Amino acid sequence: MRKKKPSLNTYNERRDTSKSGEPAGKIAKKSKPIFVVQLHHASHKHYDFRLAIDGVLVSWAVPKGVPRRAGIKRLAMRTDDHPMEYATFEGIIPKGNYGAGTVKIWDHGTFSPIGEKSMAQQLQRGKIEFELEGDMLAGAYVLVHMKNRGPHYWLLMKERTGDRKK
């Protein structure tokens, strides 16, 4: 199953940024290897985990939060890609707008891919391996697409120390 290339089409279709206060959707020509985790109190409280890949923030909603200990698996639902400017967004998305509720940055930092393949190649294959360096999160992580469940279902796991070789 071929994964979709990062795009902001869905982000732009769902939002009126003049009303929501969110950043306008445009793909960055260059992006640093950053990540951000935002606590989002919308219809249900969840954490939005975002990795900069190909000029956008590729995003997953993680209902129970990003694991901080090795061996814990968390459901991560792939959502629409977000513009790079969203990495610093905090605020209240007003009622009547997509994703209405409070958004706060929970953690942010940089990441390094693990292995020979680029992050875009890993996303396409459905298994993304990376190391995070943030204020709250650090260490090796993996996102794995659950192919038998549909395009949006992924697992996010923290790897045990020493399990990975760069």
pLDDT digits (tens, 9 = 90+) for 126-164: 999 999 999 999 999 999 999 989 889 999 999 986 544
pTM of the model: 0.91
Percent with pLDDT over 70 in the chain: 93
* Percent with pLDDT over 90 in the chain: 85
Within a domain: 77: yes
In a domain, 20, yes or no: no
- Whether 23 is in a domain gets the answer no
How confident is the model over 100-120, as pLDDT tens digits?
Answer: 999 999 999 999 999 999 999
Whole domain around residue 107: which residue ranges? 9-15+32-158
Is 26 part of any domain?
no
In a domain, 70, yes or no: yes
Contacts of 53 (CB under 8 A, 6+ apart): 6, 31, 119, 120, 123
Residue 112 belongs to some domain of the structure: yes
Task: Give the chain's domain count.
Answer: 1
Q: Is residue 163 part of a domain?
A: no
Considering the domain boundaries, does residue 47 fall inside one? yes
